[in-house]
Amino acid sequence: MRKTWFSGFLFLLFLAGCEKANDSISIQYKAEIVGFDPNCSTCIVSFPDDLLKVKDLAGESQDNYYQLVNVHKSDFSIGQKLLLQVREAADTELPLCIAQYPSFQYKSLYALQYRNYDNLIANDTIELSYKNCLNDPLRQTYICFDSVVSDSRCPEGVLCVWEGEATARFKFQQYSGMEVIVDLKEGTQDTLVSGYHFSFLKLLPYPKYGTEPRSEDYKAVVTIKR
């Protein structure tokens, strides 16, 4: 009996962990913010490239737009592109403002994971924000700045024996789901990753004495060549 209870607990813990695992880039759909629900300040999105897949998942929706019940206006702007892993929202997950005072007749989706993305401009120098991705439709690959592994650079205003170094983690994921993860030191030039010549030129911001940047403040300055 005790063993059965413990196994059930682990199963529930596994389910909860999957839903909240925002660090994964196992994302299926490309979406664009097209508006906001004025009652709830939630985001309204379109799926210009993946509409048929979303219709299969959640059904037809007015104007081919869908409402993300847990993605809010304060975090996004119209025209912003997202990579989403979504499912149809359950009735219990709908905010009261949607359930009782709906502004639109859009189907509601629950975003399990999401990241911002822009389309890749090859050979250009790009500031890639923390947790953001570049989409390369030609090779059907997302290139993402996943995290800062370490940052021991000597802060401005401090005299250090060693200048230190910074290391960032990048993910290269194909639409099919195959993924390559690589950790690179700042200043790494022309490393071959997943068929790309990738240079990690600089990590911004540079540390200053007495302050520590938040994770979301980081940007990786990169150059990507096919």
CA distance 169 to 146: 5
For 167-179, what is each residue's pLDDT tens digit?
999 999 998 888 9
Q: What percent of the chain has pLDDT over 70?
A: 88
Round to whole Å and give the CA distance between 116 and 84: 9
Pairing of the two strands 29-36 and 65-72: unpaired
Nearest alpha carbon to residue 193 among 212, 168, 170: 170
Q: Which CATH number fits domain 120-225: 3.40.1350, 1.10.1060, 3.30.160, 2.60.98?
A: 2.60.98
Which of 26-35, 125-134, 154-163 shows the lowest mean pLDDT across its residues?
26-35
pLDDT band at 27 (very low <50, low <70, confident <90, very high): low
Nearest by Cα to 143 from 160, 126, 156: 126
pTM of the model: 0.74
Whether the predicted pLDDT of 192 surpasses 60: yes
What sign results for the dihedral spanned by CA atoms 96, 99, 102, 107?
positive
pLDDT, tens digit, 9 for 90 and up, residues 140-184: 999 999 999 999 999 988 889 899 999 999 999 998 888 999 999
Q: Where are the domains of the chain?
A: 2-117, 120-225
